[in-house]
Amino acid sequence: MTVPKPAPGSEAIPEFPEAMRQFMERLGFGTRPDRAYPLTGGVSSDIWFVEAKGRRLCIKRALPALRVAADWRAPVERNHFEYAWFQRVARILPDAVPPLVGHDEQAQMFAMAYLEPEQNPLWKRQLLEGKIDPAFAGHVGEALGAIHAATAHDRQTADEFATDANFHAIRLEPYLEATARVHTDLAAAIGRLVATTAATRLALVHGDISPKNILIGPKGPVFLDAECAWYGDPAFDLAFCLNHLLLKCLPVPQGAARLALSFERMVAAYRARIAWEDPAGFERRCAALLPGLLLARVDGKSPVEYIIEDKDRDYVRRIARPLIAAPVATLAEVGHRWLAGFR
């Protein structure tokens, strides 16, 4: 989900869904909001801005079929686990999640506070505009590491987020397995990435740690869109975010040096938090997974929208493919090979 704003064509705003109207009433906000309109930026959910009784809220309802070109379906029950991820993380880092308002289990929707974009700019937008702050990347790494450290080897959290089928449907299949069907010569290597990730259950994973889902809040990063919440491999979260820092070098080549420093700061801040396993073993998994995710964002079911030139897609393939075939042991080496083309 991006920073909330009205969908284009406000003269044709659809009617506020009846199910959301009833949800608002149950929450005590009445049936007639002062304002309500759908928000842009999401492919997996209906997201509405609602203003009622002096409060500004976002209501989010999961969709069974995602709004992408490929056929991509996912269980709507992920809405429950997203809300539960916010609840769990609020006990660890209260300022790292939006304030929650309420959840409707049957309708698979929840309400949270609307965070004003002026005070909570979207990290993705800042990066694409060339406003690159490596210190903030370090704060993201530190917060992510704190979440993983607080939930590592926690049996209750593991039982609550035993969402293997959801995670496969939303992440492993559309990203890695779909990419393996395009790059058939790498299918075995990508299959090993899938198997390792699926079998590793160590901590509470967000599953979509991307700049498009991180606000630069007054007190640090604020994480959104936890639909992929899963008790599994924390290396997936770090690799997923580092992936986006590298990819941003393509639309923002003049920012490559600061993106490289952001990459380093995030890795260092996160690594300092690893206490649940051997840091070197964690880094090997993360370094193996990262090039698979790079390739997935040009040849999987969810290609990034800002890589539009064939030469840029070819650059991703040229760097990622050899690293998938012969994984390296460190994230620094993955970053070095990627960034060599921008120096």
Q: What is the pLDDT of residues 325-334, one digit of tens each?
A: 999 999 999 9
Three-state secondary-structure class, residue 2: coil
- The pLDDT score that the predictor gives to residue 22 is 85
209-234 tens-digit pLDDT: 999 999 999 999 999 999 999 999 99
The answer to the question of residue 15 being in a domain is no
The answer to the question of residue 173 being in a domain is yes
CA dist 187 and 174 (Å) reads 14
Average pLDDT of the segment spanning 114-138: 96
The answer to the question of residue 169 being in a domain is yes
Beta bridge partners of 51: 35, 56
The dihedral built from the CA positions of residue 126, 130, 135 and 140, taken in this order, carries a sign that is positive
Token duo for residue 13: 């705003």
Q: Is the pLDDT of residue 4 over 50?
A: no
The domain that holds 143 is classified in CATH as: 3.90.1200.10
The answer to the question of residue 327 being in a domain is yes
The amino acid present at 173, given as its one-letter code, is E
Is residue 10 within 8 A of residue 34, CB to CB? The reply is no
CA dist 295 and 288 (Å) reads 12
DSSP for 206-235?
-S---GGGEEEETTEEEE---TT-EEE-HH
Domain with 299, as residue range(s), is: 123-342
Nearest to 248 by CA among 121, 336, 125: 125
21-35 tens-digit pLDDT: 888 888 888 878 888
The amino acid present at 45, given as its one-letter code, is S
Contacting residues for 121 by C-beta, under 8 A, at least 6 apart: 3, 215, 216
The answer to the question of residue 47 being in a domain is no
How far CA 225 is from CA of 180, 198, 245, 323, in Å, comes to 26, 21, 18, 29
- The pLDDT score that the predictor gives to residue 74 is 55
Is residue 111 within 8 A of residue 48, CB to CB? The reply is no
How far CA 340 is from CA of 180, 225, 254, 312, 336, in Å, comes to 26, 33, 14, 14, 6
Is residue 113 within 8 A of residue 57, CB to CB? The reply is yes
296-312 tens-digit pLDDT: 999 999 899 999 999 99
132-169 tens-digit pLDDT: 999 999 999 999 999 999 999 999 999 999 999 989 98
Helix/strand/coil (H, E, C) string of 70-99? CCCECCCCHHHHHHHHHHHHHCCCHHHCCC
79-117 tens-digit pLDDT: 889 999 999 999 999 999 999 998 887 778 899 999 999
Residue ranges of E strands in 239-286: none
- The pLDDT score that the predictor gives to residue 2 is 40
CA dist 140 and 211 (Å) reads 10
Count of domains for the chain: 1
Q: Is the pLDDT of residue 178 over 80?
A: yes
- The pLDDT score that the predictor gives to residue 307 is 97
The answer to the question of residue 11 being in a domain is no
Q: Is the pLDDT of residue 260 over 70?
A: yes
The answer to the question of residue 228 being in a domain is yes
The answer to the question of residue 27 being in a domain is no
pTM, 2 dp: 0.90
CA dist 313 and 304 (Å) reads 10
Confidence of residue 3 (pLDDT cuts 50, 70, 90): very low
